[in-house]
Amino acid sequence: MSTERHVLVTAGPTREAIDPVRYLSNESSGRMGFAIAEAAVKAGHRATLIAGPVDLPTPKGVERVDVVSARDMLAALEDHFPSADALYMAAAVADYRPAQRHAGKWKVKESGADSVSLELVRNPDLVKTIARTKGERRVIAFALETSDGERRALAKLQAKGADWIVLNDPSALGAGRTTVTILGADGSRQHFEDRTKAQVAESLIALLDE
Ligand code: CTP
């Protein structure tokens, strides 16, 4: 029986507003993060799930905090990380946001131009920012790579100051099954081929007992 811990999980995309009705976002379904929060509760832990805009039911026993943008997600992490023992950063955070959020609809066609530009500014790297204060807490980051996956994932593991990084294949997006490689800062490597997200989530929660 493992010790009860407070597990913090982020899931889903972030949404970066252009104006009141338009935004930039991505295809993340949130399913991996929701499965991790569910697996945490099943293993006897307390779970807080910080969710971007997704259409998924809250798993039983999970405390859910809904957020929209990357900066909202950072504020929620700053609220909840101090009381957590582990962070699973499964959210697909937008790396950039529109430099300007128009107060009313962006009347872009009014200029008559055939081509327009949208200026973007960098969002903070949430997991890197939060991992700086981690102390004894465990931080698990995620990477989705299309080529040279393990090398790139290991570079991200170090740059972000995480304890483990979960390397996903792009076929995982929105799918029920997934293939992942879990790479540890201690040099460990575990590969899981064609598993359900619930099975992968259980293995990820088991990392806390290592
Ligand atoms: N992440 C984050 N803050 C960001 C961007 C990503 O915390 N602004 C986290 C994600 O939650 C994930 C990991 O960092 O745990 C993904 O790493 P990242 O390098 O940002 O991945 P991508 O943006 O998907 O990859 P790439 O830079 O190769 O496009």
pLDDT tens, position by position, for the chain (210 residues)? 568 999 999 999 999 999 999 999 999 999 999 999 999 999 999 999 999 999 999 999 999 999 999 999 999 999 999 999 999 999 999 999 999 999 999 999 998 999 999 999 999 999 999 999 999 999 999 999 999 999 999 999 999 999 999 999 877 666 778 899 999 999 999 999 999 999 999 999 999 998
Q: Are strands 177-184 and 189-196 parallel, antiparallel or unpaired?
A: antiparallel
Q: What pTM value is reported for the model?
A: 0.96
Nearest CA to ligand 1 atom 18: 143
Residue 18 has a pLDDT of: 98
Residue 171 has a pLDDT of: 75
Residue 174 has a pLDDT of: 67
Residue 2 has a pLDDT of: 64
DSSP string, 107-164: -GGGG--S-----EEEPP-HHHHHHTT-TT-EEEEEEE-SSSHHHHHHHHHHHHT-SE
Q: Is 26 an active-site residue?
A: yes
Residue 210 has a pLDDT of: 83
SS3 per residue for 190-201: EEEEEEEHHHHH
The CATH number fitting domain 6-94+116-209, selected from 3.90.1580.10, 3.30.390.30, 3.30.200.20, 3.40.50.10300: 3.40.50.10300
Q: Give residues with Cβ within 8 angstroms of 208, minimum separation 6.
A: 2, 5, 7, 45, 85, 86, 138
Residue 19 has a pLDDT of: 98
Q: Give residues with Cβ within 8 angstroms of 136, minimum separation 6.
A: none
Residue 42 has a pLDDT of: 98
Tokens of 9: 């999980």
Among the options 18, 24, 26, 124, which is catalytic? 26
User: For the chain, percent helix, then strand, then coil, each to nearest 5?
Assistant: 30, 30, 40
Do residues 6 and 83 lie in contact, with contact meaning Cβ atoms separated by under 8 Å? yes
Pocket test for ligand 1, best of 10, 69, 125, 182 (most atoms within 8 A of CB): 125
Q: Residues lining ligand 1, judged by CB closer than 6 Å?
A: 70, 89, 91, 93, 95, 123, 125-127, 141-144, 156
d(CA 189, CA 149): 13
Residue 203 has a pLDDT of: 97
